Structure 1
């Protein structure tokens, strides 16, 4: 009996090790307003009844924050799901303020900073909500229009976009308790979507020039907390979105449409403005007229998940146009693989850590 149990335990441990080694982190996404995930090449759904439009993982991978609205109300509430117990909790009710799609976790997993408005004609504002107590604190004046908060990995500052004067959209930062507010950029152009580097020393953002294509720029923050030089990393794009740093801070990832091109593609560029690389091709293997969007780094930076729309011939010989299919590839653009057979995938986010909770 002991021998049988020992053999059974050995086989179980072997299969578990094989399972962990063969499976990567879960990739979450939104499809038809529901949150799904792909784990070990299987697609499942976390929600089914609500309308979900945005999501963000806690840094430790234990919580998933997301917006939820009902079919009878256009206003979003902010929820979190405990990925171990699968219990959902409402943190911010929409009656407090319609929660927009821009929110971010503190590095210690205890607080979420979010963009919202208190009425349909009100300015956008930034508040923070405590995970334990549920206490909500307004962080920006009601008189200003503040949005797109991004919490520095060091935890001491929050970057955001403001339109508190007539110069257009500019990048600001405030300390984590909102007692200090400083301007990073000042231009007649529109600066948006700030993203802190992993070491909290730089902020990448998208600059839309008046009457010109978009750029990806990076602002260096001196330790004196004054704005440093602004370096243009990428220019010549009509559209740029979904900007993110690689985990080691050496590259930036985004999807965009170059001027004169008809389709979006996924790109990387080094943080020193060198080696702009298009990771998508118009024709790739069996796929034709390719359009790739919504890229997301794997936690170790070795892979990128993304959605792809393309024409291809199915196994039954039928010519088919696939819409926003889930893919992943190596960080250099090689080894593109489709994950499952679902379509209409967007807002992709790779789970921060390997945790067998699903």
Structure 2
């Protein structure tokens, strides 16, 4: 009996590990110390290091509560649980509408398919909109949200001692009381509402939609209704849903969103398409056709001059939709970048090196790069960041070198949460961005003379402020870090939420430039290493991204959305007007310049980021790139103030279960009807969950099932 029990437990742990490894952040975190506090409508739960984000989130979500609930004329019946996490270098949010909880990761979103806005306000409004409009359309109630029709069939028995053969038919069909396509769910969450709107049709979203329209690749209405595509396809469901919902609001007013959800909340509404037709008086297919025609007319008209005078250089990589962060080696002979060529997701990338003289491309055995990259001044090393699991199974960004000469990878850190590294002109230091609880800091890693030496330094970062500490972690509010460095220096740490993007050195080594933002749009900032001061170098309402100096320091190259379309520009380092270098209908990003003045960049074209090359670009006539003269004025101005954050009375977290759900089931088993049910419940942090089921027929042949999961420790117990 003891042996059988041990075997059962061993298999349980093994299976749990295999299953959980397939899901993001499904690892247990017993090292976290959770706390809770209450606001008028929410109970907020957070762990050490996320207190600032939790307090700010509580303020924000209470501010948006009246606007979102008024838009849909619906208030959730139960108190909603808001959970803040910062266990991973991961940016997302989720609305678990049946469980009455919202989860938010504190890391700010920096995604090559989206523009810049205030992350916390945007994601909270997005997820709370999900919570409200989806709970409103539940046709039954939160206790009985859905059920199942199930049928088991069996092989014909072959022996007298076998009561029933092995199951050969297993059918389980869910009957849901929720009926909402992806395009409407995500479209309304991005549209938000007139009184609480922190998202907008940024130039990235417009680029993706415009490109699909001009290349006749717009998703159909059915394709917009589901996920399960590539990264690009899934993002297009979000994007087109946002644009289509905006179209509905333009045609019928914002009240149409509440009307649609109200109609769909009744059992008499069999299809969501029918609810839209009843609310608008027009079939959804007809609305889609009108919207598609409107888009084609608009984008064809606005890009007519650009298409007649397009200037983008030569595409050197057309395959894959994520060819990103190109960088010339110091001699200008090679270009390195990351590419997902032949793969379905942005994260499935590889490092590529293009030999310009031979025309060959070499794929390096490095995958999952999560940042921009840079060459060392001697051309021997590439530096980049990619994610790995730490001892708590958190997925964090760490720095690595690729030794081009010896063709091997050298790890520079453990637990650093560092990204977007850049070599100093003398090759002795690497500038990089560190992150914690949504806060950014600019740091320097001084390399040892031999990067492969075992010169490891043990330091810590304060998980609340992101400040570097010159000693090992001493409390749970500090994060242990190991770096292969002679010295680790923190240059700049923002505690107001200002973000730092893709730092690059000025060739004289005296300044570091980078993209920076704290609200809508991006500016170009700089840090002066001699004075130790930060300042804004270039400021505009639009997006200014990816600044990089020419090797001689004479020019600053960057990408700007000033016309409504991203193009490459350059300005003289000592001042002067900006010169337009590209004229594209998609977008031009991430320039890199060699000592001959040649430029490589990421060109968004034909459903994805390609790699383009220009030999000594010259200034173009800016009038030929006109697209939307009023674009800068369309960028929202800051419409919030989060400078003052209230304090809340907190308490240690106590296990709190969500509403118990009863899921009816109609079970057809060996020709008999077995009505029954499932019961499910879990605590809000998913540390404990329970599922039980029962079914019986008129002969009192019954089935019983129960399953419990305990996840407060490192292993999961069942």
Give the match's secondary structure for 1:78: strand
Alignment gaps of 5+ in structure 2? 1-312, 449-484, 625-718
Q: Does the alignment pair 1:197 with 2:506?
A: yes
- Counterparts of 2:490 and 2:588, CA distance in 1: 31
Matches within 5 A, 1:138-149: 138-142=411-415, 144-149=416-421
- Counterparts of 2:581 and 2:557, CA distance in 1: 12
Q: Comparing both chains, which one has the higher relative contact order based on Cα–Cα distances under 8 Å and sequence gaps of 6 or more?
A: 2
Q: Does the alignment pair 1:32 with 2:333?
A: no
Q: Does the alignment pair 1:124 with 2:397?
A: yes
The match for 1:254 is: 558
Q: Does the alignment pair 1:244 with 2:548?
A: yes
Equivalent residues of 2:382, 2:404 under 8 A apart = yes
Matches within 5 A, 1:217-296: 217-222=525-530, 228-258=532-562, 262-271=564-573, 274-277=575-578, 279=580, 293-294=588-589, 296=591
Q: Does the alignment pair 1:185 with 2:492?
A: yes
**Structure with greater strand share of residues:** 1
Matches within 5 A, 1:277-316: 277=578, 279=580, 293-294=588-589, 296=591, 299=594
Aligned residues: 265
- Counterparts of 1:236 and 1:301, CA distance in 2: 30
TM-score by structure 2 length?
A: 0.32
Equivalent residues of 1:330, 1:336 under 8 A apart = no
Give the match's secondary structure for 2:543: strand
- Counterparts of 1:93 and 1:105, CA distance in 2: 15
Residues 279 and 86 of structure 1: is their aligned pair in 2 closer, same or farther, counting only changes over 3 Å? Answer: closer
Give the match's secondary structure for 2:379: coil
- Counterparts of 2:420 and 2:491, CA distance in 1: 14
1:119-143 alpha-carbon deviations (Å, 9 max, x no partner): 696112111121232342222332x
Residues 307 and 69 of structure 1: is their aligned pair in 2 closer, same or farther, counting only changes over 3 Å? Answer: closer
- Counterparts of 2:401 and 2:590, CA distance in 1: 27
The match for 2:409 is: 136
Residue 306 of structure 1 deviates from its aligned partner by: 7.0
TM-score by structure 1 length?
A: 0.60
Equivalent residues of 1:213, 1:235 under 8 A apart = no
Q: Does the alignment pair 1:160 with 2:432?
A: yes
Equivalent residues of 1:53, 1:101 under 8 A apart = no
The match for 1:207 is: 516
Question: Pairwise CA RMSD of aligned residues?
Answer: 4.1
Equivalent residues of 1:202, 1:220 under 8 A apart = yes
Give the match's secondary structure for 1:137: strand
Equivalent residues of 1:237, 1:256 under 8 A apart = no
Q: Does the alignment pair 1:175 with 2:484?
A: no
- Counterparts of 1:118 and 1:152, CA distance in 2: 25
1:287-345 alpha-carbon deviations (Å, 9 max, x no partner): xx9676237465457676778899xxxxxxxxxxxx999777755446999xxxxxxxx
1:121-168 alpha-carbon deviations (Å, 9 max, x no partner): 6112111121232342222332x32111111221111111110x3461
- Counterparts of 2:372 and 2:582, CA distance in 1: 30
Residue 103 of structure 1 deviates from its aligned partner by: 1.8
Alignment gaps of 5+ in structure 1? 1-26, 35-49, 283-288, 311-322, 338-358
Residues 291 and 129 of structure 1: is their aligned pair in 2 closer, same or farther, counting only changes over 3 Å? Answer: closer
- Counterparts of 1:296 and 1:281, CA distance in 2: 11
Matches within 5 A, 1:10-49: 29=315, 31-33=317-319
Residue 115 of structure 1 deviates from its aligned partner by: 1.3
Who wins on radius of gyration, i.e. which is larger?
Answer: 2
1:201-230 alpha-carbon deviations (Å, 9 max, x no partner): 211111102x244211121112xxxx6222
**Structure with greater helix share of residues:** 2
- Counterparts of 2:349 and 2:612, CA distance in 1: 26
- Counterparts of 1:265 and 1:330, CA distance in 2: 13
